[in-house]
Amino acid sequence: MGRLKSKVAIVTGGTSGIGLKTVEVFAEEGATVVFSGRREKEGQEISDRLGGSVHFVKADATSEEDMATLINGTAEKFGKLDCIFNNAGGPAPVGSIATVDYPKAMEAMTLLFGGVLLGIKLAAPIMQKQGFGSIINNGSIAGHLAGYSTSMVYSAAKASVLQLTRSAAMELGESNVRVNSISPGAIATGIFGKALGLKGQAAEDTAEIAGNVLSQAQPIRRAGLPEDIAKAALFLASDDSTFVNAADILVDGGMIGGRHWSAHQESVKNLGKAFTDG
């Protein structure tokens, strides 16, 4: 406990899923946490539940005005900004490239990529001036390899986030400001329900079902949990990672590490059987 004592952190998209768990973990570790989201009622309830070190600001991650109010306001109120976790996200259009809804695809890119870009852009001058800071971006294994999202638009957006992270890290590292990303694998949250058209609490209620379905998707035989990502974010926000920059931390239970052992053994068995039958 206390790994973030005296630190000031922002978490975008903090009213559910990975963002909410990160807010909880950061607060438990001693940080003053300012979190944002578009759902004011839920945000205020979370702030009230977690106590005086946790503050909610209603903000749309795609609005530069909202993000400036969130980031500049936090630094002005608390005198510094140690960390920002650019976590806000959502689903993107699914289906074939030949039928993709272009306006909806651009809307998704504005949130998934643009929200991260705004977070880095607005936090950077504050952190450069103070001479320290940690910027954490939420990527995805879908940004590393095709076929790990129901949406190729989502994959493209996350690939953009990973490259933006590296590019910004090369510049900001010279000011002792670290920029890193986390790439979650199959994490049991409501995003799968949202991708299939469910809204609000109905989407959030699908997390347990998604976890059961995803439990066999990686060598570690369980679905990932929001706290798995929150703990990786904790490492990057803390002083334990002061020499980590331009990195992407895969938190996927080994999903994209290679061909899964059991599947490979089964294919070898089938190949041997084909030789024998032949």
Maximum Cα–Cα distance across the chain: 75
Residues 112 and 153: their CA atoms lie apart, in Å, by 10
Per-residue pLDDT at 216 exceeds 60:
yes
Distance of alpha carbon 47 from alpha carbon 56, whole angstroms: 6
Q: How far apart are CA 236 and CA 52, in angstroms?
A: 24
Q: What is the pLDDT of residues 44-84, one digit of tens each?
A: 999 999 989 999 999 999 999 999 999 999 999 999 999 99
Q: What is the pLDDT of residue 201?
A: 56
Is pTM beyond 0.85? Reply is yes
Active site residues: 154
Distances (CA, A) of 9 to 32, 53, 99, 216, 276: 6, 11, 40, 34, 62
Select from 141, 142, 146, 124 the least CA-distant residue to 133.
124
Tokens of 73: 């306001």
Token pair of 207, please?
């997390």
Domains of the chain: 8-277 (3.40.50.720)
End-to-end CA distance of the chain: 63
| pLDDT one-digit tens code per residue, 171-212 | 999 999 999 999 999 998 755 545 545 455 554 555 566 667
